[in-house]
Structures are given as structure tokens and as C-alpha cells.
Amino acid sequence: MLGDDEILTVTLPDSAAGLRLDRALAEALPSLSRERLKSLIKGGRVIDARGSILWDPAAKAAPPTTIEIRLPATLPAHNPAQDLDLVIAYEDEHLIVIDKPAGMVVHPAAGNLDGTMVNALLHHCAGQLSGIGGVARPGIVHRIDKDTSGLIVAAKHDKAHEGLAKQFAAHSIDRRYLALATGRPMPANGTVDAALGRSATHRKKMAVVAAGRGKHAITHYRTIEPLRDATLIECRLETGRTHQVRVHMAHIGHPLVGDPVYGRARKPLSDVLKACNFARQALHAAHLGFIHPVNGNSIALDSELPADMRELIDELRV
């Protein structure tokens, strides 16, 4: 509810007896994260049935009791909502998974203030966003590059955002990419364990750096199909660093086909790319698996290769 405080009323069940107040309320109100509830309690926005303000998140709940929570007005997002085409792989009242096309930027930034996935989600999810940190916006917990296609998840409220973020931080999300690597990776299946950080010579690029300088990064790859001058591989990420697959494959001498930053195609591969009008890194976020942050269900989603990568693979088949 925009413009005025929204008042939520909840009656704590007997099972909440002895729990911390913030935890009891979080279990009773699945759309609000425990951290958000702590902030509301400390802000004097939680009131018991007698009209007394409950200031202490650690106070023991004493059910049955009815508690009133005054949510401050959710601020509208400053980014415009835009009616853009979205392919939705999964959606419920808590989160949404988009199958992003290559060419779409995820989040507005300098040079890309509109036409992004966030702009599209603000339109699609109008009236469904309870506010991430008090702002009516989708909670983006991970990103994929503009010219990478595939699956990306966004939260609709604080609790879903917090639960997804914890899984990403714990590296428990199952993320698998399909990619075309130049040449023949040897061994055919392997692991790249190399820290990533900003390149010392090109600030817009990432690079493999000494362990103490960068962030820990691990990519497991396996060969799916050898092709002419390239190989279709699957990359499973243990970590999710910026440009991880692209940098790791370039590091072992097999940059991704079409990658304009970390690789350069040579003839005859460059001729095939030109004939197919293929001008991006051949990388697709094909699988996303996680535990639903609210109901605990296991979610596993797959996305088919986009048409441009399928056409390129057909041209490269021996």
C-alpha cells in the first residue's frame, strides 16, 4: 500500500510460546524477513493488543496474543515500469524466474536506464511487490551478462530475497551453463580453481589473480559434443563471480566462441561466426536449481538453447 502505513494484524499461535518475538512474527508472516521485522520492532512499529509498543526483538513471545505491525509506506521504484516481452520459466507470489534473451541488460545503470529486465519486471509484477528494503522493486540476487542468455531468479519481497541471497552466498544454488569453447579442452572434463579479480591492465575486464588478491572461484566443466574448431561444454559453477565462465575458460586456453572481451576467433571459425551473424559470447544459463525460500520446495528449471546458438552448433558439427 503506497502513500500510507499498511497495518498488519497477526495472532500468534500457541506454538510460538517461548520464541523470540522477531522469530515468532517471521514464522507468522512469511512475506517479511526476520531482519525486516527486527528493524520494524526497533523502530517502534510493533504494538501488542493493549496498545503497548514492543521494542525488543529478543523478547519472548507470549501467545495467544494479537499483534499489530505498522509497515511504513513502500516507496515507488525510481526506475520506470515498461511493458516488455518476458519469457517466464516459473512464478508464484514470492519469486519469479525469467528466461532472459541475449541482449537484455538485467539492471538499469549508466547507459542502460531503461529497456532492462528490472523495468520489465516492475511492469509485470505491478501490485505484487511488497518491497525489498522498503522499495517496491524486484530483488535481483544474481546477474547474467547482457549478451548471455538464460535463467535468472528475482524475489518479490524481503523474505524471499533474503532466503535466495543466503543460498547464493552459501554456493548451494545449482547453476549450469551451456557454452561453446574454442578448440578441444584437455582434459575433456575438468575443474578450474582460480581466484578472480579486476584486471590490473584493463579495469573493465576480470582476470585470474593471486588467491589473496581476488575472490575464490571454481568452475567444473565437461565436454558434451566435440565440434569443428570448438566444443560444446557444460559448466557447473560452485561460485558465481563476474564473468566466471568466460575468464576461467580463457585462462585454460579455450575462450568462449564469439567472446568479444576474452577471446578472438580465428579463421575458419571467424568465417562461420560471420556467416551466422553471431556476435556474442556463446554462453547460456541452461539450468537453475534452488530451495524455495518460503515453502522449502526444491525448484529445478531448464532452458533450451536459444536459436542463435543452435544454428551455430549445426554449422560447426563435423
Active site residue 145: yes
What Cα–Cα distance (Å) separates residue 314 from each residue in 225, 228, 307? 12, 10, 11
What Cα–Cα distance (Å) separates residue 40 from each residue in 6, 11, 44, 74? 12, 17, 7, 13
Buried b (16+ CB within 10 A) or exposed e, 223-233: beeebebbbbb
Residue 201 contacts by C-beta under 8 Å, 6 or more apart in sequence? none
Catalytic residue of the set 22, 99, 145, 229: 145
Q: Which residue has the cell 515498461?
A: 82
Q: What is the C-alpha radius of gyration for the chain, rounded to an integer number of angstroms?
A: 23
Peptide bond connecting 187 to the previous residue in cis, omega within 30 degrees of 0: yes
Q: CA torsion, points 118, 119, 125, 131, in degrees to nearest 10?
A: 60
Residue 217: how many CB atoms within 10 A of its CB?
A: 25
CB 149 within 8 A of CB 285: yes
| DSSP label at residue 266 | -
CB 126 within 8 A of CB 137: no
Helical (H) or strand (E) element with 182? strand 174-182
Active centre residues (catalytic): 145
